[in-house]
Amino acid sequence: MSSKDIDQVTGVETTGHEWDGIKELNNPLPRWWLWTFYGCIVFALGYTVAFPAWPMISSATTGVLGYSSRADLDTDLAAAKAAQGDLLTRVAQTPAADILKDDALARFARAGGKSLFKVYCSQCHGTGATGSVGYPNLNDDEWIWGGSIEQIEATISHGARSPTDPDTHFNVMPNFGADGILTTPQIDVVARQVASLSGIKGGEATAEGAQLFADNCASCHGTNGEGMIALGGPSLNDQVWLYQGTLDAIRSQIQQPRHGVMPAWGTRLGETAVKQLAVYVHGLGGGQ
């Protein structure tokens, strides 16, 4: 092994390593390759100086360029905010009804409202704003407190029966059964009268029922049960029911009514966010 081991075919020296008769040639590197390799080493060293690299005990070297991914994120977020800045200001300054007339602004407000809705509203109204028993569906054309953009905005801003907002929508349906205003047979008669307005099974219009309805219900729910938005009296002559449209449910609601509470979001989220939410909810298909 003292002499060079020369490959017969190529005339090139081998490294002496052999696998099943195949020997590794010891060709020198091309010069450009070598310099590229050196270049990479120099670059790598420079990189570790310029950028955070060397691990220390509790952190790492910060690098002379002062780069950090956190600062990068802050910059990006600030840039994103700045990009919204003008639009957000315009939303703040434009009345909700006028936002609807401006396509670009409405699209922006709706997108913002959609994400706000997911965070603040979906817990009660559902992610698709379909609501559930006791929580209104916001997609349909039934609005207890009104379905115009201004009315929706007011409802979101001040809430319903909110203890924190003096301007909140407020009404209370009397405890007709529990407080002894009507007797149990009377409740049954008037419940059947109400059910008959929208063709619910078990509904029956009677003279007594009509009289009871006119005396006790019409002042808030309207002469024909068409509802009264100013007082928040839901309409009783349609197919949309907050507490289910069955005879039992109607009876129970007259006996001892349930009342939902919605927080006043105006003070918590601010006027601009409320406006975005109103635009979003108005655009779900039921807005008037």
Partner 1 sequence: MTTQNSDTLADTPDAQTYDVEAVNSATRRQPLYAPRKKIFPRRASGQFRRFKWLVMLVTLTIYYVTPWIRWDRGPFAPDQAVLVDLANKRFYFFFIEIWPQEFYYVAGMLVMAGIGLFLVTSTVGRAWCGYACPQTVWVDLYLVVERAIEGDRNARMKLDAGPWSANKLMKRVAKHGIWLLIGVLTGGAWIFYFADAPTLLHDVVTLHAPFVAYATIALLTATTYTFGGLLREQVCTYMCPWPRIQGAMLDEHSLTVTYNDWRGEPRTRHAKKAIAEGKPVGDCVDCNACVVVCPMGIDIRDGQQLECITCALCIDACDDVMTRLGKERGLISYATLNDYNRNMALAMGTGKVIQPSRVRDQLTGRLVDAVKRTDWRSIVRPRSLVYLLVLVLIGLGMLTALALRSPLSLNVLHDRNPLYVELRDGAVRNGYDVKVLNMTPQPRQVVLRLEGLPGATLSFADGGSETAGPIPVTLEPDKVLPLRLYIRVGHEALPSSPVPFRIVVEDPATGLDRSVESTFEVPEQRR
Distance CA 284, CA 139 (A): 5
Which 125-144 residues touch partner 1, going by CB under 8 A? Answer: 126-130, 137, 139-142
In the complex, least distance from residue 70 CB atom to partner 1, rounded to whole angstroms? 27
Handedness of CA 31, 33, 38, 43 (dihedral sign): positive
Buried b (16+ CB within 10 A) or exposed e, 182-216: beeebbbbbbbbbbbbbebeebeeeeebeebbeeb
- By CB atoms closer than 10 A (0-12, 13-18, 19+), residue 119 is exposed
According to the binding rule CB under 8 A, does residue 168 interact with partner 1?
A: no
**In whole angstroms, what is the distance from residue 100 CA to residue 36 CA?**
61
Task: Select from 8, 9, 22, 28 the one that contacts partner 1 (CB under 8 A).
Answer: 28
The torsion angles phi and psi of 268, rounded to 5 degrees, stand at -85, -40
- Told to check if 202 binds partner 1 by CB under 8 A, we report no
**Closer Cβ to partner 1, 52 or 283, answer by number:** 283
Alpha-carbon gap, residue 284 to 277, rounded angstroms: 11
Choose which of 9, 31, 56, 180 interacts with partner 1 (CB under 8 A): 31
Q: By C-beta, is 137 or 276 nearer to partner 1? A: 137
Residues 140, 129 contacting (CB under 8 angstroms): no
CB of 185 to partner 1, least distance (A): 29
Nearer to partner 1, 142 or 188 (CB): 142
Closer residue to partner 1 (CB): 2 or 69: 2
Task: Name the DSSP class of 262.
Answer: B
Structure tokens at 111: 């997108």
Q: How far is the CB of 71 from partner 1 (least distance, A)?
A: 23
Q: Which is nearer to partner 1, 34 or 49 (CB)?
A: 34
Q: Rounded to the nearest whole angstrom, what is the least distance from the CB of residue 50 to partner 1 in the complex?
A: 21
Among 7, 25, 33, 204, binds partner 1 (CB under 8 A): 33
Q: Return the number of other C-beta atoms located less than 10 Å from residue 111's C-beta.
A: 13
Build a one-symbol-per-residue string for 212-251: x at contacts with partner 1 by CB under 8 A, - elsewhere: -----------------------x--xxx-----------
Cβ proximity to partner 1, 189 vs 200, nearer residue: 200
Q: Which is nearer to partner 1, 33 or 67 (CB)?
A: 33
What does R_g of the chain's alpha carbons equal in angstroms? 37
Query: CA–CA separation, 147 vs 234, rounded Å?
Result: 13
Judged by DSSP in three states, 79 sits in helix
Binding site residues, partner 1, CB under 8 A: 1-4, 13, 26-34, 103, 126-130, 137, 139-142, 235, 238-240, 283, 285-286
